[in-house]
Structure 1
Amino acid sequence: KALFVQFAEVFPLKVFGYQPDPMGYQEAVGWLELLAGLLLVLGPPMLQEISNLLLTLLMMGAIFTLASLKESLNTYIPAIICLGLLLLLDICQLVQTEKVVRPTRKKTLASAFTESW
């Protein structure tokens, strides 16, 4: 609870005049992580991509927050590892999508005949 008091003080949208309630901020982050994690594992592909994006933004926000508070590198490690895994998953999904969407050549009668031999 004490950490989210500090996190709320360096909230990125504070520049625009919005500073969240620390307890509400903690609950919102927790529910968002839980929901996005479940959708990442169990959801259809479109929701998996959206949840991956949300979790990536959350991890970037966590790293920004820790950097703003000038925390030690040891506290960054979980967020950095999670961000790296999310980016790796995103890259793998992108490569898999490109393989599926790859255009195919039309078969002509001559190519179909030579392939059968």
Structure 2
Amino acid sequence: CASPSHRPRPLLANHIHNTRSVRQKALFVQFAEVFPLKVFCYQPDPESYQAAVGWLELLAGLLLVLGPPVLQDISNLLLTLLMMGALFTLVSLKESLNTCIPAIVCLGLLLLLDICQALVQTKQVVRATRKTPGAFKEPWE
């Protein structure tokens, strides 16, 4: 039996999670320093900035997958702006290309989705405005 003063060691997963959390907070301190709106004298609090980005990514991602078409378009725009901001931040911090690759891939996929949606909408408009030529009318008309 273990004595009451004996505490169990923290699990490795908790240690990894805490280390990652500390690292993420340190990164957002750097991100806040190069925030794009800093030129307008606005610099966010790093913790609020981290929370806002996380919630915005989560909400926009869910709406992109589950939302109606109008909200999907809005969430695609929001996520595209977030990825552009992420790339701006990473380039401002002079990060390596390896660090930028996830943001570049996500931005590329979002732009591809936007292009595909635009093509589908264009096809729907073309089909709706196309008229049937007189040669294909039924003989009884």
Q: How far does residue 59 in structure 1 lie from its aligned partner after superposition?
A: 0.2
Bigger relative contact order (CA 8 A; separation at least 6) = 1
Q: How far does residue 106 in structure 1 lie from its aligned partner after superposition?
A: 4.7
Equivalent positions of 1:1-117 (< 5 A) are: 1-102=25-126, 103-106=129-132, 108=134, 111-113=136-138
Q: How far does residue 112 in structure 1 lie from its aligned partner after superposition?
A: 1.3
Q: How far does residue 28 in structure 1 lie from its aligned partner after superposition?
A: 0.2
* Counterpart-to-counterpart distance in 2, 1:96 and 1:72: 37
Give structure 2 stretches of 5+ with no counterpart. 1-24
2:77 aligned partner, one-letter code:
L
* Counterpart-to-counterpart distance in 2, 1:41 and 1:112: 42
* Counterpart-to-counterpart distance in 2, 1:41 and 1:111: 41
Structure with the larger helix share: 1
* Counterpart-to-counterpart distance in 2, 1:46 and 1:20: 30
* Counterpart-to-counterpart distance in 1, 2:136 and 2:110: 43
2:122 aligned partner, one-letter code:
E
2:42 aligned partner, one-letter code:
Y
User: Identical aligned pairs, as a percentage?
Assistant: 76
Q: How far does residue 113 in structure 1 lie from its aligned partner after superposition?
A: 2.1
Give structure 1 stretches of 5+ with no counterpart. none
Q: Deviations over 1:20-51 (max 9, x none)?
A: 00000000000000000000000000100000
- TM-score normalized by the length of structure 2: 0.77
| Deviating 4+ runs (over 6 angstroms) | none
Q: Deviations over 1:41-74 (max 9, x none)?
A: 0000010000000000000000000000000111
2:58 aligned partner, one-letter code:
L
1:66 aligned partner, one-letter code:
L
CA RMSD, Structure 1 to Structure 2 (Å): 1.5
- TM-score normalized by the length of structure 1: 0.93
